[in-house]
Amino acid sequence: MLAVPAVLSPDEVAHLRATIDAADWIDGNATSGHQSAQAKHNTQLPEDSAAAHTAGEIVLDALGRSPLFVAAALPLKVYPPLFNRYAAGDAFGTHVDTAIRIRYGSDFRIRSDVSATLFLSDPDDYDGGELLVEDRPGVKLSAGDMILYPASTLHRVAPVTRGTRVASFFWVQSMVRSDSDRAILFELDTAIQGLTGATGNDDAELVRLTGVYHNLLRRWAEL
Quick: pLDDT tens for 5-19: 999 999 999 999 999
Reported as a single tens digit per residue, the pLDDT across 197-213 is 766 667 788 999 999 99
- Give the pLDDT score at 40: 83
Task: State the Cα–Cα distance between residues 74 and 64, nearest whole angstrom.
Answer: 11
Verdict on whether the full-model pTM lies above 0.85: yes
- Give the pLDDT score at 205: 87
Residues in the chain, overall count:
223
- Give the pLDDT score at 69: 97
**Residues 24, 97 share a domain:** yes
Reported as a single tens digit per residue, the pLDDT across 36-93 is 556 789 999 999 999 999 999 999 999 999 999 999 999 999 999 999 999 999 999 9
Measured torsion, CA atoms of residues 206, 186, 168, 65, in degrees rounded to the nearest 10 = 10
**Residues 39, 140 share a domain:** yes
**Residues 41, 8 share a domain:** yes
How far is C-alpha 168 from the geometric centre of its chain's CA atoms? 8
What are the percentages of helix, strand and coil residues in the chain, rounded to 5? 35, 30, 35
Range of the domain at 187: 179-220
**Residues 191, 116 share a domain:** no
Determine contact, residues 131/160, Cβ cutoff 8 Å. Answer: no
**Residues 64, 22 share a domain:** yes
**Residues 128, 19 share a domain:** yes
The CATH number that applies at residue 184 is 4.10.860
- Give the pLDDT score at 155: 95
Task: State the Cα–Cα distance between residues 175 and 149, nearest whole angstrom.
Answer: 16
Candidates 166, 155, 93; CA nearest to 126 is 166
**Residues 190, 170 share a domain:** no
**Residues 204, 146 share a domain:** no
